[in-house]
Amino acid sequence: MSNSSSLVVDGVSLKIAEQQILSDVSLHLCVGQVVGVLGPNGAGKTSLLKIISGQLGNYHNVSWKGKTLADYDAMSLARQIAVVNQLNDSVFSLNLYQIVRMGLLPHKSLLSQHTSEDEKSIRDAISQVGLDAKIHQTFSSLSGGEQQRGLIARALVQKAALIILDEPVNHLDIYYQHQILRLLRSLAKSLNITVVMSLHDLNLAANYCDQVCLLDQGKIVADGSPQQVFTAERLQQVFKIPCEVRISNSSSTFRVDFYPPKFDEDPSIEVKGQTL
């Protein structure tokens, strides 16, 4: 089922209570690539990421570097896979250095001493994400983009070969969205790290992802390069709204534009109880 240089998801399904969340999802993701998971709300993006990262079941249906997740113990899995989530309020009083240092936890026992090699790893990771000047600043005082870069630095200290991110740019302004995604793409290529993330913005995915997986109602609609997956017909089918895909021959890029239906074409839209 697996390839020693890839992440393989083999026929994963997930049902919670009576609701089918994922249905027979299969993927093959290559090492060193940036992969985007996209789809409407409720498509199953977050659930798929949790399964890939080992936070949900199906450990025998997901393999990484030739071994199923079930073959890894908890510490070994933490050394392989880093999950970049938003932190809870209880750690916001810590400074950036302390947050990034948490990446050492999978590699240290309770009695392990902090070494000069650990120190170098922490400072190198902070430097790689461009936050040297913020190293002793409290995490809560950093901007949204700086916080996200700090969490990525923690994943680098963790020395994980697979980084999972759920909506990493969701609450950032346009500048920081591009900054974070450019950073992730650069790290993937320079360090041979595999990055898998959910995104809402198709144009960001087209610019920064090598591969995209389009989900709808828990099933894979299409999987491949953005150029292969993002067709107008397919996107209209999934997002239920007219769109146009424009290709630039000069720069080999394209853009997706959605066009909302007119009110008189959609009688189901209501304002203050009145059908328009």
Q: Could you read off the pLDDT of 140-176 as tens digits, one per residue?
A: 999 989 999 999 999 999 999 999 999 999 888 899 9
H helices present in 38-93, as ranges: 45-52, 74-80
Report the pLDDT value the prediction gives residue 179, as an integer from 0 to 100.
92
Contacts of 179 (CB under 8 A, 6+ apart): 145, 149
Categorize the per-residue pLDDT at 18 as very low, low, confident or very high, splitting at 50, 70 and 90.
confident
Each residue of 166-189: pLDDT tens digit? 999 988 889 999 999 999 999 999
How do 274-275 and 34-38 pair as beta strands? unpaired
Question: CA 81, CA 79: separation in Å to the nearest integer?
Answer: 6
Q: Where are the domains of the chain?
A: 6-225
Confidence of residue 274 (pLDDT cuts 50, 70, 90): very low
Domain 6-225, architecture per CATH: 3-Layer(aba) Sandwich (3.40)
Q: What is the pLDDT confidence band of residue 275, given thresholds at 50, 70 and 90? A: very low
CA–CA dist 98, 101 (Å, integer):
5
Q: Is the dihedral of CA 202, 49, 149, 93 positive or negative?
A: positive
pLDDT tens for 187-229 read 999 999 999 999 999 999 999 999 999 999 999 999 999 999 9
> Are 59 and 52 within 8 A, CB to CB?
no
Q: How far apart are CA 167 and CA 169, in angstroms?
A: 6
Residue ranges of alpha helices (H) inside 113-224 are 116-128, 144-157, 174-191, 202-208
* Per-residue pLDDT tens over the stretch 20-43: 999 999 999 999 999 999 999 999
Q: How far is CA 267 from CA 40, 78, 236, 241, 243, in A?
A: 22, 51, 19, 15, 20
Per-residue b or e along 266-275, where b marks 16 or more CB atoms closer than 10 Å to that residue's CB: eeeeeeeeee
Q: How confident is the model at residue 272 (pLDDT cuts 50, 70, 90)?
A: very low
- Is 136 in a helix, a strand, or coil? coil
